[in-house]
Amino acid sequence: MLNFLSKEVREGLELARKAKERRKSKLRVQVGDAVFPVLRFWHDGFVLDGALTPHLRGLVDLYDGSRHVFQCLIVAATVDGDEITCEFKRLTHVADKAPLDFWLDPALPVGLLPKA
């Protein structure tokens, strides 16, 4: 479809598409102190910008803005042109509190009011 356009125009359109994806997505991968924006995300992988990101492998943290959402174990990363497609083996939700080790009855009263 874009074959009739000049090379410079196609490169400009590709740069504009990448910039739009970076602005649109708040997801980012953090490895140590380094932060890399996520262009696209799906159930078993995500795409990073190859110009900004080194070849990643291992345990990484995934953030949505400033909120820590997932921990991912990247097992495969392939370079597709100027994008890096990362596939993960494990995607763990990060909770803000420890899980309960007992069953909590939803019918229990929240508090006890003394007699007036």
Q: What is the pLDDT of residues 47-87, one digit of tens each?
A: 998 888 888 889 999 998 889 999 999 999 899 888 899 99
Per-residue pLDDT at 103 exceeds 90: no
In three-state secondary structure terms, 50 is coil
- Does the residue 55 lie in any domain? yes
- Does the residue 77 lie in any domain? yes
Strands 58-64 and 45-49: unpaired
- Does the residue 51 lie in any domain? yes
- Does the residue 75 lie in any domain? yes
Q: What average pLDDT does the structure give for the chain?
A: 85
Per-residue pLDDT at 22 exceeds 80: no
Q: Is the pTM of this model over 0.75?
A: no
Q: Which domain holds residue 52?
A: 26-93
| Alpha-helical segments (H) within the chain | 7-24
- Does the residue 42 lie in any domain? yes
The phi, psi pair for 81, rounded to 5°, reads 70, -115
- Does the residue 72 lie in any domain? yes
Structural domain tally of the chain? 1
Q: Which of 53, 69, 51 is nearest to 61 (CA)?
A: 69
- Does the residue 61 lie in any domain? yes
Q: What is the pLDDT of residue 12?
A: 86
Q: What is the pLDDT of residue 63?
A: 93
